[in-house]
Structure 1
């Protein structure tokens, strides 16, 4: 068991120098007056608490952390995060962030479809089970989630105590656990911890089943829809429950679970949670790196924001040593289908409809077009004007930028349509919510194109709806999931790290909720990686720390292509590629480092050294080659907000090697210099993210080739737009007494801060090391402070980009409602209320990879002068 250093034995440190307060944007939900404090190295908890008390901070301890060396507190006095950060002995302070239960997608496949349980052949895990008889036995995996239904028969083990079906604990598959919160916890109330980590929500049980369920021989009810097995069916599990039956969980609770998992002796922790882009300085990532440095593995979900474009990889896995996991879809599926103009196409009915579609042949097709002749998204009812759709089947595009399936279904139904087919974009079969009384279905993108072509030839072509399901090689199968988030992070670091199957995965669910379910998400890919680490540890009879195993998995992953593409998918989407556990176990070669960050044109790392090591028993000769991958263009028209789906371009870097071939004796290493040149194609003003792989192939037959991914950005990243000016941000407006936004009245208007209050609206399309709203005296032209608000906090500090739209399809932006308070300096501890007068408002965002000299290194917008 790992032992945490006992802080009380440390010599008392001198409490000196102030720490840093990490301000968060208004769009991120936090616990009111709740903070996470990291103490300086060597500072004892008692000394830190005494320092708070001497400053008259009235607080309550929520959690104490040993490895992190800090605490989570609730403050009852007027002190805020900046006050606490200014106190002696404090290193960092963060508001406690609330994280929602990950929003997975209900699988588009049924639990009885064979392919939902056939994913192991994509990764070599089926051969690892058969050839090496590896099961993860002796390895401990902690699941930090909604708990685990430890009574589920899929978690039974041969020789386990009979009582394991009524409890968890020693000699059971779920041997460790704790409920940090209680059923009723939502993130907005007080946790009520107890010793029972039973799952009442489902997410954690599904995750745990992917890691280690065994449902091959269950005869008890509810019976599995088909036999299936997790990646490592004999691992020992720890259930660390951080969510109630619904709602959110705070960082403070999550970090307490991370430390308990470590102290319980978990070798691996699975964190299928997180959300929103950030920097690696978030507290979960900081603690995660500390745990990995002490020998653990941390697997974290990359996020399900693939429809939001680049810069969106999730925060939990951003640590230098952790593994951020992307998702791949299963290769094939079993679907309902229809024939149109002689061609057979699969479809996925909406969740609300939930059954086969059976419409009469008289219900012919009617595509809905935009004015420019392109297929419409169906979100604008005026597009139906003059078109007879009564009793017919409408075809629309599945772009969710403006509305979701329910909205476009309502419009089609109101117009009199018999049903609607929605062409998935960019490919695959999208999951639709839909309307319960209106037939709706997703079709593949290719199917939509074929329907349009057939319609133009014969508008009277008819449908035949098939009652039985059939097997189809689905669009996107075996490729990165469209929902999986894109990198890079705000410092142009390569994230995600690698990928695993996460689309349409059959696994366990609480017995009270049916026992089994098919879900999709990076939440499903992450436990696949956690289980794969367990197999690797068992195979090597060792427990290397997470970043060491990550290197092996990245070296040996399967580099993949987007569906139907001849080129390889961007590293910003798939990381090192799809995990291949068989290759990882059998390889005798490694490349260090496991990724290369080339940064941008101004900081280009033109020369990079890699170390190629031969761990085999004989001399090996390696050939070095370069495999370019897709470039992602998110700013093709000079747009200020990245495209929801980046354009794929053939912007390829060139790579030369100091040695094209190298002979390395057994057990020895060789250093090879890589020289990079940026792509000739691609416009620097559009900031394409280019990427690829350097591959070392052994000459010996049957030996495993290894590779290292690289990423770079052509152009000056400091010129990447931060504020979304295309949508009119930033803008200064007024809020009236009713709480409604209005334009500021014209003329010599003066805010009374009651009937009319000024508000600044901002919307960030990419990260910034410091987002600021600066206030200047309009007469003297001198800086008086950073805008500070009671509702959104203070406008100064690093932040990630914002989503394009939220889960309801509403545009995401931040309102800064101002009543005259400012922080006179970035490290100020108390807002100052300005005297009545005229003040100039400037929104400023520090550009990436710059020193932060104002205004030289900032994107600035002068919003004019206001009076109050």
Structure 2
């Protein structure tokens, strides 16, 4: 059977033996009409990620191979690691694994990165000495939203970094901060200028070269060309470094730090994870105090190599700060490595309190009209005036059949935001002859209008207040025009101080509390390469992480004895929980401990460990089918570093919860309960005391509730410390991981399939993969295990993952459902993440081999021709291997292997 799927709706995530996976929550979400379930507060904002119709191919052609001995940064002996490497090369050669070695690692990760066809993965997995294999993910950086005059002051004020500089005298002097990114424009005057190495940018290396792009269809561009000059030609790294420590027109958080610029991106495009680890190892060799990584791969487990390498760097004495990811619009469980690592500081983003906006003047009133340029539309001129303005209404001509309220031909169209896409409003006005398009917001504040394609007509967005004022002038009979200027103005953001909607939600797939804390990342003005204007405004958790790295530099300057893990605890203890809509406490799995507070961290004389509590799942058993909810008790150690006894009072505040569909969860007010072994505790000067806190979940099963709150500890000396907690309310293993795809329009794609690839053999050509045309369901068909007409004639298992899985195995059985003797395992792929969308697919190719245990070794065998089936066994996240209910299985239809030529033993498999 072949099913036709809309290319726009299905994102192809071809995953050959080990690529990250995809998630959707279980059906049956409670509604407001269900008194037993959560009361919905609001949907978490989500937007499709495939709006341009492009299908993303995520199939890796490169892999991490992890070996058994611990890396040297975590206590492994160098001789033992080198012995591991030599033994692997011998075993791989003996097993016939065909691969090309890319990088060799020993300090933060023990193993290799390799280029290899996915058909070799079965052999590689079973090679003696291999602990695990991970797909090589590609990572990209965001483009700037706009360019404007430099301003960091409001972001600094949000975290008290301005107070730390001006009143506490902290600057980051003597602290070395590594920026692993696109490089740094060290010639920029805000970094002191000069030729590399400079006084400010004193360390660094370019691992890739200008032309490098890991995702390029040009093979030459995918080959790194390293050199010693880390000059930034892309922009992201210069912007990040400016937030850490620029000192000029832009003043960063720690303006006197010394930088290491470790460049892992070319002038455009993406990089790969092994290059990141190579850069991390060099930063460690250069004795960097702090490493900032505004890079990440969403939906990954904490055991992904970039995350475990970050943990090893922390163990070796380097504070590691990483962005938590920009996939918040795709729902929960969207955090990524390396920020999801157990010991790194994973940073969420909050919006800046103020934005810079371009400025126009309304005539004849002379009123100032701040505006933003609609995405991809050329900016208006910096002088001159528009044609007179007419109000045309909402402009939803195509989708809602609107008629424009006035004819904008030869005039400026004033359009109301709402009910249809920005592009439709712009296009409708332009089609009617408008010479400029102005879209007025329908809620307070400015906005960034995306998805609009330039038609040669200026297009801008203005605030609700400006729109109302212009409409009043028009209704009063005035010929209203806008005069463009080259000026900018600072405007208050209506979402200032709130979690940025793009910032990824936790929890980590193992239910660890992530993110750890938050910092300003939405609409941040910072340095940019001189060749690109010198300054820019960008948004992302990429901008939040360097704020925390700079804050850590200030605190490390003040107290050089702060340990690498102690720094995260200190920042979490003293963070300020942020609010949603100015009223409710934001989800803990969205903000972590909250917005960092540098002066509070500097002055803190009280600390508490653990600094965060990961509760796990609340249902631990079922009796007669009914769930048994188990409270979680944690012992908190409260330490008093002041010179006097302090009595502390225990308190508790709940935060918002989410429930329902992973990709489109709903916010709700769900109260957990906290009980303390003592309501107060007195701690002598220099001493510590323990107090138990027991968290009782809301007690809802079957709704996929992620809940959280804060334990509050208030001292009679005025000290205030908080500890965030979060957990899953219910039975985590009730979430189905492998499900059909529901496209939301009544179309259900009944995967898993056994399939063949029918077009586009060159997986590196990212734009060519269309799952509707690339795969056809192939049950009952015959495969030659050869390349035919330029395509691999191999069986693929195509599946959709509604949630992360902890282990994924593919086994071989014969056409009658019987095991193939001792040789059964086709692949054991370990943990898989979820993909970006609810309509993602993963494809796993089988090469006709299987394995069995032989003593301490695994032996691989090429199976004979004949009839076969492939069986999936997937262990649910945090599942018990011994519990069959925690495994999901699927068995393919029968298919036939028939290799060309004689003597292949057809039918005797």
Calculate the TM-score normalised by the size of structure 1: 0.80
CA shift in 2, pair 1:466/1:624, >3 Å: farther
CA displacement at 1:531 relative to structure 2: 0.7
Matched, 1:308 2:330: yes
CA displacement at 1:316 relative to structure 2: 0.8
CA displacement at 1:687 relative to structure 2: 1.3
* Correspondence list, 1:295-334, <5 A: 295-334=317-356
Matched, 1:488 2:526: no
SS of 1:126 mapped into structure 2: helix
Aligned to 2:658: 632
Aligned to 2:572: 554
Kindly indicate whether the alpha-carbon contact (under 8 Å) linking 1:30 and 1:98 is maintained by their aligned counterparts in 2.
Answer: no
CA displacement at 1:279 relative to structure 2: 0.7
CA displacement at 1:282 relative to structure 2: 0.8
CA displacement at 1:411 relative to structure 2: 7.0
Matched, 1:99 2:117: no
Kindly provide the CA deviation profile for residues 329-363 of structure 1, in whole angstroms up to 9, marking residues without a partner as x. 11123546899xx9999653313142399574433
Alignment partner for residue 642 of structure 1, among 656, 663, 667?
663
How far apart, CA to CA, are the structure 1 residues paired with 2:100 and 2:848?
27
* Correspondence list, 1:242-253, <5 A: 242-253=264-275
Unaligned runs of 5+ in 1: 1-20, 157-163, 216-226, 369-377, 636-640, 789-793, 805-810
CA displacement at 1:128 relative to structure 2: 0.8
CA shift in 2, pair 1:76/1:710, >3 Å: closer
How far apart, CA to CA, are the structure 2 residues paired with 1:651 and 1:508?
42
How far apart, CA to CA, are the structure 1 residues paired with 2:114 and 2:18?
17
Matched, 1:602 2:619: yes
RMSD: 4.1
CA shift in 2, pair 1:536/1:79, >3 Å: same
Aligned to 1:693: 710
Aligned to 1:285: 307
Alignment partner for residue 401 of structure 2, among 363, 373, 384?
384
CA shift in 2, pair 1:690/1:175, >3 Å: same
CA displacement at 1:304 relative to structure 2: 0.9
Kindly provide the CA deviation profile for residues 168-206 of structure 1, in whole angstroms up to 9, marking residues without a partner as x. 15xx11111111222222236322222111111111111
CA shift in 2, pair 1:78/1:395, >3 Å: closer
* Correspondence list, 1:413-428, <5 A: 419=437, 421=439
Q: Which moved more, 1:146-155 or 1:663-672?
A: 146-155
CA displacement at 1:714 relative to structure 2: 1.3
Alignment partner for residue 256 of structure 2, among 213, 221, 234?
234
CA displacement at 1:473 relative to structure 2: 2.7
CA displacement at 1:236 relative to structure 2: 1.0
How far apart, CA to CA, are the structure 2 residues paired with 1:760 and 1:447?
55
CA displacement at 1:286 relative to structure 2: 0.9
CA displacement at 1:443 relative to structure 2: 6.4
Kindly provide the CA deviation profile for residues 392-415 of structure 1, in whole angstroms up to 9, marking residues without a partner as x. 66556589xxxx855775577558
Matched, 1:167 2:165: no
Aligned to 1:365: 393
Kindly indicate whether the alpha-carbon contact (under 8 Å) linking 1:285 and 1:316 is maintained by their aligned counterparts in 2.
Answer: yes
CA shift in 2, pair 1:654/1:422, >3 Å: farther
How far apart, CA to CA, are the structure 2 residues paired with 1:293 and 1:812?
39
* Correspondence list, 1:524-603, <5 A: 524-540=543-559, 542-562=560-580, 564-603=581-620
Matched, 1:198 2:235: no
Kindly indicate whether the alpha-carbon contact (under 8 Å) linking 1:770 and 1:799 is maintained by their aligned counterparts in 2.
Answer: yes
Kindly indicate whether the alpha-carbon contact (under 8 Å) linking 2:873 and 2:889 is maintained by their aligned counterparts in 1.
Answer: yes
How far apart, CA to CA, are the structure 1 residues paired with 2:481 and 2:831?
54
CA displacement at 1:674 relative to structure 2: 0.6
Matched, 1:617 2:653: no
Kindly indicate whether the alpha-carbon contact (under 8 Å) linking 1:308 and 1:803 is maintained by their aligned counterparts in 2.
Answer: yes
Alignment partner for residue 731 of structure 2, among 716, 720, 733?
716
CA displacement at 1:208 relative to structure 2: 1.0
The structure with higher relative contact order (CA 8 Å, sep 6+) is 2
Calculate the TM-score normalised by the size of structure 2: 0.76
* Correspondence list, 1:768-807, <5 A: 768-772=805-809, 776-780=813-817, 782=819, 796-804=829-837
* Correspondence list, 1:715-794, <5 A: 715-722=730-737, 723=739, 725-727=741-743, 728-731=748-751, 732=753, 741=772, 750-751=781-782, 760-772=797-809, 776-780=813-817, 782=819
Matched, 1:111 2:127: no
Aligned to 1:659: 678
How far apart, CA to CA, are the structure 1 residues paired with 2:774 and 2:540?
42
Aligned to 1:704: 719
CA displacement at 1:494 relative to structure 2: 0.5
How far apart, CA to CA, are the structure 1 residues paired with 2:17 and 2:68?
14
How far apart, CA to CA, are the structure 2 residues paired with 1:495 and 1:128?
27
CA displacement at 1:492 relative to structure 2: 0.8
CA shift in 2, pair 1:845/1:439, >3 Å: farther
Matched, 1:835 2:865: yes
How far apart, CA to CA, are the structure 1 residues paired with 2:774 and 2:803?
27
SS of 2:543 mapped into structure 1: helix
CA displacement at 1:291 relative to structure 2: 1.3
SS of 2:879 mapped into structure 1: coil
How far apart, CA to CA, are the structure 1 residues paired with 2:238 and 2:563?
26
* Correspondence list, 1:75-90, <5 A: 80-81=120-121, 83-84=123-124, 86-90=126-130
How far apart, CA to CA, are the structure 2 residues paired with 1:333 and 1:464?
26
Kindly indicate whether the alpha-carbon contact (under 8 Å) linking 1:614 and 1:669 is maintained by their aligned counterparts in 2.
Answer: yes
SS of 1:231 mapped into structure 2: coil
SS of 2:347 mapped into structure 1: strand
CA shift in 2, pair 1:200/1:709, >3 Å: same
Aligned to 2:886: 857
CA displacement at 1:743 relative to structure 2: 12
SS of 1:165 mapped into structure 2: coil
CA shift in 2, pair 1:76/1:539, >3 Å: closer
SS of 1:487 mapped into structure 2: coil
Aligned to 2:106: 66
Unaligned runs of 5+ in 2: 1-15, 22-55, 71-76, 621-629, 761-769, 898-909
How far apart, CA to CA, are the structure 2 residues paired with 1:706 and 1:126?
22
CA shift in 2, pair 1:472/1:857, >3 Å: same
CA displacement at 1:729 relative to structure 2: 4.7
CA displacement at 1:472 relative to structure 2: 3.9
Kindly provide the CA deviation profile for residues 122-181 of structure 1, in whole angstroms up to 9, marking residues without a partner as x. 11111111111111111111111111111222112xxxxxxx612215xx1111111122
SS of 2:548 mapped into structure 1: helix
Kindly indicate whether the alpha-carbon contact (under 8 Å) linking 2:779 and 2:894 is maintained by their aligned counterparts in 1.
Answer: no
Matched, 1:208 2:227: no
CA shift in 2, pair 1:462/1:291, >3 Å: farther
CA displacement at 1:533 relative to structure 2: 0.6
SS of 2:670 mapped into structure 1: coil
Aligned to 1:17: none
Aligned to 1:430: 448
Kindly indicate whether the alpha-carbon contact (under 8 Å) linking 1:300 and 1:323 is maintained by their aligned counterparts in 2.
Answer: yes
Aligned to 1:52: 88
CA displacement at 1:416 relative to structure 2: 7.5
CA displacement at 1:579 relative to structure 2: 0.7
How far apart, CA to CA, are the structure 2 residues paired with 1:513 and 1:213?
17
CA displacement at 1:851 relative to structure 2: 1.4
CA displacement at 1:85 relative to structure 2: 5.0
CA shift in 2, pair 1:248/1:671, >3 Å: same
SS of 1:578 mapped into structure 2: coil
Kindly indicate whether the alpha-carbon contact (under 8 Å) linking 1:786 and 1:824 is maintained by their aligned counterparts in 2.
Answer: yes
Q: Which moved more, 1:190-199 or 1:522-531?
A: 190-199
How far apart, CA to CA, are the structure 1 residues paired with 2:557 and 2:729?
43
SS of 1:132 mapped into structure 2: coil
Kindly indicate whether the alpha-carbon contact (under 8 Å) linking 1:306 and 1:485 is maintained by their aligned counterparts in 2.
Answer: yes
Matched, 1:265 2:287: yes
Kindly provide the CA deviation profile for residues 363-400 of structure 1, in whole angstroms up to 9, marking residues without a partner as x. 321364xxxxxxxxx9xx4533888896466556589x
Aligned to 2:185: 149
SS of 1:289 mapped into structure 2: helix
CA displacement at 1:512 relative to structure 2: 1.9
How far apart, CA to CA, are the structure 2 residues paired with 1:409 and 1:759?
44
Kindly provide the CA deviation profile for residues 22-76 of structure 1, in whole angstroms up to 9, marking residues without a partner as x. 9334878576355343441445344234313433627665333332353434467
How far apart, CA to CA, are the structure 2 residues paired with 1:440 and 1:324?
37
Matched, 1:176 2:194: no
SS of 2:87 mapped into structure 1: helix
Aligned to 1:500: 519
